[in-house]
Chains A and B, each alone.
Chain A
Amino acid sequence: MNAHGFVHRYGDNVDTDVIIPARYLNTASHSELAAHCMEDIDKEFVNKVKPGDIIVAGKNFGCGSSREHAPIAIKASGVSCVIAPTFARIFYRNAINIGLAILECPEAAAAIQNGDEVTVDFDTGVITDVTTGESFQAQPFPPFIQNIIEKGGLLNSL
């Protein structure tokens, strides 16, 4: 399983309120949530994002509320992977549970720039910045987590 896309870069402590503001939590519709993804940190995100794109961010990505609507919105907007040095723990668990690939890699998160073209090999954990030619090694997912992501979420994989 691989990811390939262009990078949308954000800073530290991106919280779930800016990923999907609570004013849109009166729905569980994936497409409606995707239409407001990242709205309070980057109004243009929904217009820019293309299927397969990758979010690269600073530490503690997804902090705050436990709303699963946050990884759902990111995944439904077409993003194939999020790379950060660390993730807030509830977001980390939620992302895997709904089948959104996330990788902890401080080196990649520091080096990859906005707009870069990036590929990720989930089997090996190798992240390649095609634009610069640099490669980074993240801890690959164990097979059972890869299986959850490939099946599209925890409950689909049971």
Chain B
Amino acid sequence: MGMTMTQKILAAHAGLDFVEPGQLIEAKLDLVLGNDITSPVAINEFEKIGANSVFDKSRIALVLDHFTPNKDIKAAEQCRQVRQFASKYDIDNFFDVGRVGIEHALLPEQGIVVPGDCVIGADSHTCTYGALGAFSTGVGSTDMAAGMIAGKTWFKVPSAIRVTLTGKLPPYVSGKDVILHLIGEIGVDGALYQSLEFTGEGVASLSMDDRLCIANMAIEAGAKNGIFPVDEVTLAYGENRFRREAVVYEADPDAVYDREVVINLDTLRPTVSFPHLPENTRTIDNVGTVKIDQAVIGSCTNGRMEDLRMAASILKGRKVADGVRCIIIPGTQQIYLDAIREGLAETFILAGAIFSMPTCGPCLGGHMGVLGKGERAVSTTNRNFVGRMGHIESEVYLASPAVAAASAVTGYLTDPAKLN
């Protein structure tokens, strides 16, 4: 019996030749991640048991991205605690305001995660790095604390769903539409305890930004991880970027999957998740008339360069509709700078949008765009749960940057291909 890509990476990190689904293993970690919300809880646990060293200061990343720049005094205190910890243990990959980006945009960009890695992060969207061919999964703060101390953790080896992609994405259809479509097909617990392995000839046509977006939302189907094969696109992305040597794993031809889902990229349409679950998907052709108050373009899901370029291509020469607040947030400082140099920032500002520094901010109702009672947002973020972006009577419609930008222009959920 062959192994899936995920099984192979886990086997290698557990020092075993073979692992099978359901097997409990102890695996070495290449990276342990936390942010300004989850790290304080981990640091409290770390200190409570009297730990006085970390396993490897180069293999820990602490990223102050959620409530930064500090949104209030309590947030400031949490950041201060993480800052002091990072200083005390001389953590190499500590990112503070001015250098910080949204963690799952930042770590791939900086080459801190590489193909073949085994990564845990105290943030559910840690599964993003599967786009690079790494095993990467979200955990809680206690696991983060134990990981920082020991450099290893236990896993139950997941079984896998094979997601076979065929064809090529049409104009105005992106990785976001692929993952929203998939979640709509299998549901928010469709991949519970399982791995999503993306494969098929359609993968080659997907950019790294698209893949990062798709893997990012694997958790929204309940998955433990989402993973892509390593190909020329991955290796080109990694050139002059990956800080460690990439290790390429391939699924065996006789790997066993629980089931297969086939997605023909040619036929995908822009897709929107209606409140209050990511699985409530409709194509843009079936959304009806949904008036919006706010459009958010950014986050660990869609705050990358291609996302901003797409938004700018739609907003160029147009105006954000009266009564709509359009908030555009780059994923990292580098993306921010590139957007300025390419003229995208000017396009956004002339269109009447705000273009801010990187932060998770509005995605989780933190700051920089919290919704009031009865307000509706179209958002390129990843969750539309009750109260996710603010008031419990507010609504979030998840969509791609193209749909969000087009909707910002009209004031209604809009097919970008139908803009005048």
Chain A residues engaging chain B, CB cutoff 8 angstroms: 13, 15, 17-18, 21-23, 25-28, 40-41, 59-60, 63-69, 71-72, 86, 88-90, 93-94, 97-98, 153-156, 158
Contacts and interface: CB of A to CB of B under 8 A. Distances in A.
Contact of A22 (B40, B74, B141, B364): B364
B386 interface: yes
A64 B139 CA distance: 11
Interface string B41-72: 10011001100000000000000001100011
Which secondary structure characterizes the binding site on chain B?
A: loop
A14 to B, nearest CB: 10
B78 A68 contact: no
Interface stretch (B142-150, B281-289, B335-343, B351-359): B142-150
Interface string B112-145: 0000000000111010000000000011111101
Interface of B: 37-38, 40-41, 44-45, 48-49, 66-67, 71-72, 74-75, 78, 122-124, 126, 138-143, 145-146, 188-189, 192-193, 219, 222, 224, 277, 364-366, 383, 385-388, 392
Contacts of A71: 140
Contacts of B40: 28
Contacts of B383: 15, 17, 64-65
Contact of A90 (B45, B139, B365): B139
B142 A154 contact: yes
B234 to A, nearest CB: 26
Given A21-B365, A26-B74, A155 B222 contact: no
Contacts of A60: 188-189, 192, 222
A94 B41 contact: no
B142 to A, nearest CB: 4
Given A26-B72, A40-B387, A155-B49, A67 B188 contact: no
Nearest to A86: B192
B379 to A, nearest CB: 14
Given A17-B383, A90-B138, A67 B192 contact: no
A63 B388 CA distance: 13
A5 to B, nearest CB: 24
Contacts of B126: 66
A34 B168 CA distance: 49
B222 A89 contact: yes
Give the residue among A23, A26, A59, A98 with the most B Cβ atoms within 10 A.
A26
Nearest to B150: A158
B44 A28 contact: yes
Contacts of B71: 26
Contacts of A25: 37, 66-67, 364, 366
A94 B188 CA distance: 19
A26 B78 contact: yes
A94 B143 CA distance: 8
A15 B189 contact: no
B38 A68 contact: yes
Contacts of A40: 386-387, 392
Given A22-B364, A88-B189, A158-B49, A66 B67 contact: no
B35 to A, nearest CB: 10
Given A17-B388, A90-B219, 12 more contacts: A18-B385, A22-B37, A22-B388, A60-B222, A63-B188, A63-B222, A64-B124, A65-B124, A66-B38, A67-B38, A68-B142, A155-B145
Which 6 A/B pairs are nearest by Cβ-Cβ distance?
Answer: A94-B140, A26-B74, A68-B140, A97-B142, A60-B189, A22-B364
Contacts of B124: 64-66, 90
Contacts of B146: 154-155
Nearest to B221: A63
A137 to B, nearest CB: 21
Contacts of A23: 365-366
B140 A97 contact: yes
Nearest to A72: B41
Nearest to A15: B385
A90 B223 CA distance: 10
Contacts of A156: 49
A41 B261 CA distance: 33
Contacts of A64: 124, 219, 383, 385
Contacts of A21: 365, 387
A17 B49 contact: no
Given A25-B37, A26-B72, A64-B383, A59 B142 contact: no
A141 to B, nearest CB: 14
